[in-house]
Amino acid sequence: MSNPIVQISNFNLKYGNKTVLRDLEWTIQEGENWLLTGFSGSGKTALLKAIAGIEKSTDEIVVNFDRQSNARPVCQYIAQWYQFKNVEGVANFYYQQRYNAQQVQDTLTVNAELAHYAEENNLNLAKSEPILEALGFAPLKNAQLIELSSGEHKKLQLVKALWLKPQLLLLDQPYTGLDIQSRQNLNNLLDRLTTEGVQIILISNETEIPACINRYGEIIDGQLEEHFTFCTRNEIVIEDRPIPEFLHEAPPSSSETLIKMVDVNINYGEKQVLKNVNWEIKAGEKWLLQGHNGSGKSTLLSLVNGDHPQAYANEIYLFGNKRGSGESIWDIKEHIGLISPELHWYFDFNATVWQSIASGFFDSIGLYKEIGWHKRTQVDELIEYFGLTENKNDLLAQLPLGKQRLVLLARTVIKNPELLVLDEPCQGLDAHQTLQFNTLIDGLCTTNRTLIYVSHSDDQLPKNLTHQLLLSKGEVIHNHIYKKKEELESV
């Protein structure tokens, strides 16, 4: 019998004083493709990084490659986020830079990035084309990296991994930010790849997984427990925590119509991102915003948030005022609680949990002002509600991504805004955390609070949505009263 491709014996890992993985044993034989699950913070990402030699170099983990295989004898870890750099090799980007036409030339194009990757890894550039086509990424080859949406960045990250064809491919939440069709296409690509000598370990919260997965493991209390079938936690029970008192009533609406856009067009050079968009949001409405990767959702939200400079060239009304009538970007943000993948990327990871949540009072990336006793009490109440009490003084960088996202979600609601803009808010959350957060949103939105909610997953939505806007290639193709999937199937 051949050696297992991965052999882990008595592996231990600590974060600070906390033991995350304890005496863990795991053997991965040739031909096995694993799905790895576990609650957020259970150690899944740390384990994959350790196997790849990123997190910790140890004799307790042995990886054996087959030198006769057609796949490359390497172990490739694909992180949840794609970390790109500018032309000078650094990654010091800021949140609004993507929408600034004078700044986008600071990064490489997709084509240049792929050419550089091919040279680094001795790859044939032509062989990336089928993967680009399969993931619907080929039309973006001339785009600047900073112009890409979070879903498009994920696709570029996956293109590189599939193109490299490593013997051991470690995928950490690869579906994050991908639309439904792209997820299906990715699964097909992974199935094909495993017939060519590649083995995969997949961390995912999704129920739709590639057919090649034939082993299932869950990290529980620091150890790996194998399941012999794919099991999902169908009944998730969350603790009945009362919503903090200060969030029970939304502030009075500043206008009967909070958002109004009339024939809005956004262009980057010759590329038109939004085309003749008309959208009106009245106070108290709860909107679901959807569309494929690159459809224009993030750009549309940047107009709502006041972040996009081209707002001044369009007829846009925010909170009762025409854009450009004298209000500042901070006047606009006072009304809004925002979470987005981009905000998470560019946040100050050297801030503590407490500071990060408190910064939501000022819409700042980090806390630079002292706050009074009343607001401090509100921060503490939200920390307790989200189950973050033991992490209160931890740096954001010290937390797993799921808990980081909970911190930023708490930051989103801390000032009790009249409009919540939640762009893929449940990315990185496990099923329990997702249910807890959407339960909070349902509780907050029983008042006259207004909501814009973006999600590719129909099974990760709050219950109180009232309207739906669907974008395709920058155009509105659907704008009406929201109907749940089961309601549509019964018609």
469-487: pLDDT as tens digits: 999 999 999 888 887 654 4
Q: Which residue has the tokens 């919260």?
A: 205
What is the pLDDT, as a whole number, of residue 478? 87
pLDDT tens digits for range 382-403:
999 988 999 999 999 888 888 8
Q: Is 70 exceeded by the pLDDT of residue 236?
A: no
pLDDT (0 to 100) of residue 230: 64
23 confidence band (pLDDT: 50, 70, 90): very high
Give the pLDDT of residue 90.
42
Report CA dihedral (355, 359, 360, 362) to the nearest 10 degrees. Answer: 160
The CA distances from residue 135 to 71, 126, 139, 196, 202, in Å, are 21, 15, 10, 19, 18
pTM: 0.85
- Establish if 238 belongs to a structural domain: no
> Who has greater pLDDT, 237 or 338?
338
The Cα 450–Cα 251 span in angstroms is 11
One domain, residues 318 and 458: yes
Q: Span 70-76, mean pLDDT? A: 93
Lowest model confidence (mean pLDDT) among 29-33, 129-133, 141-145, 383-387 = 141-145
Residues 36 and 142 in one domain: yes
Indicate if the pLDDT at residue 363 is higher than 60: yes
Q: From residue 189, how far is each of 192, 207, 232 by CA, in Å? A: 5, 17, 24
Residue for token pair 């000078």: 88
What pLDDT band is residue 239 in, cutting at 50, 70 and 90?
Answer: low
DSSP assignment of 28-74 equals E-TT--EEEE--TTSSHHHHHHHHTTSS---TTEEE---TTSSSEEE
Distance from C-alpha of 13 to C-alpha of 57, rounded to nearest angstrom: 11
Is 239 among the domain residues?
no
Residues 350 and 219 in one domain: no
State the residue for tokens 């979470």.
339
Q: Is 491 exposed, middle or buried (0-12, 13-18, 19+ CB in 10 A)?
A: exposed
Out of 170, 193, 227, a domain closes at 227
Please check whether residue 280 is in contact with residue 257, taking contact to mean a CB–CB distance below 8 angstroms.
yes
240: in domain: no
Do 110 and 198 lie in one domain? The reply is yes
In three-state secondary structure terms, 144 is strand
pLDDT computed for residue 343 by the predictor: 86
pLDDT of residue 100: 53
pLDDT > 70? residue 431: yes
Q: CATH no. for residue 143?
A: 3.40.50.300
Q: Is the dihedral of CA 243, 244, 247, 249 positive or negative?
A: positive
Task: Report if residue 235 sits inside a domain.
Answer: no
Neighbouring residues of 479: CB distance < 8 A, sequence distance ≥ 6: 278, 279, 467, 468, 469, 470
Beta bridge partners of 226: 217
Average pLDDT, the chain: 86
265 by Cβ neighbours in 10 Å (0-12 / 13-18 / 19+) ranks as: middle
Establish if 406 belongs to a structural domain.
Answer: yes
CA 363 to chain centre: 20
284 and 193, same structural domain? Answer: no
Q: What is the pLDDT of residue 87?
A: 46
How many other CB atoms are there within 10 angstroms of residue 84's CB atom? 16
**Residue ending a domain, choose from 172, 201, 227:** 227
CA distance 261 to 322: 10
Is the CA virtual torsion 202, 203, 206, 207 positive or negative? positive
> So what's the pLDDT on residue 465?
93
Q: Same domain, yes or no, for 426 and 287?
A: yes
- Count of residues in the chain: 491
Same domain, yes or no, for 258 and 219?
no
Span 148-176, average pLDDT:
92
Can you tell me whether residue 275 is helix, strand or coil?
strand
Question: How far, CA to CA in Å, does 279 sit from each of 27, 289, 371, 464, 472?
Answer: 54, 11, 37, 20, 15
Which of these three, 178, 200, 227, is where a domain ends? Answer: 227
| Three-state secondary structure call for residue 382 | helix
pLDDT at 56 (0 to 100): 64
**Is there a contact between 358 and 380 (Cβ–Cβ < 8 Å)?**
no
Residue 310 in any domain: the answer is yes
Question: Are both 141 and 251 inside the same structural domain?
Answer: no
Residue 490 has pLDDT above 50, yes or no: no
233 domain-assigned: no
Give mean pLDDT, residues 93-118: 68
pLDDT of residue 13: 86
State whether 113 and 166 are in the same domain: yes
Interior/surface letters 44-79, b for 16+ CB within 10 angstroms, e for the rest: bbbbbbbbbeeebeeebbebbbeeebebbeebbbbb
Task: Provide the pLDDT confidence category of residue 231 given band limits of 50, 70 and 90.
Answer: low
Whether residues 13 and 77 share a domain: the answer is yes
Number of domains in the chain: 2
Q: Are residue 168 and residue 255 in the same domain, yes or no?
A: no
Predicted confidence at residue 410, as pLDDT, reads 93
Between 491 and 376, residue with greater pLDDT: 376
Q: Between residues 103 and 80, which one has the greater pLDDT?
A: 80
What is the per-residue DSSP string for 152-185? HHHHHHHHHHHHH-EEEEEEESTTTT--HHHHHH
Q: What is the mean pLDDT of the segment spanning 63-76?
A: 91
Residue with tokens 């503490």: 380
Q: Report percent pLDDT > 90 for the chain.
A: 50
| % the chain with pLDDT above 70 | 90
The reply to whether 256 and 390 lie within a common domain is: yes
Range of the domain at 153: 6-227
Q: Is residue 237 a part of any domain in this protein?
A: no
Whether the CA torsion 329, 332, 337, 338 is positive or negative: it is negative
Average pLDDT for residues 418-427, to the nearest whole number? Answer: 90
Confidence of residue 437 (pLDDT cuts 50, 70, 90): confident
Residue of 238, 279, 245, 246 lying closest to 262 (CA atoms): 279
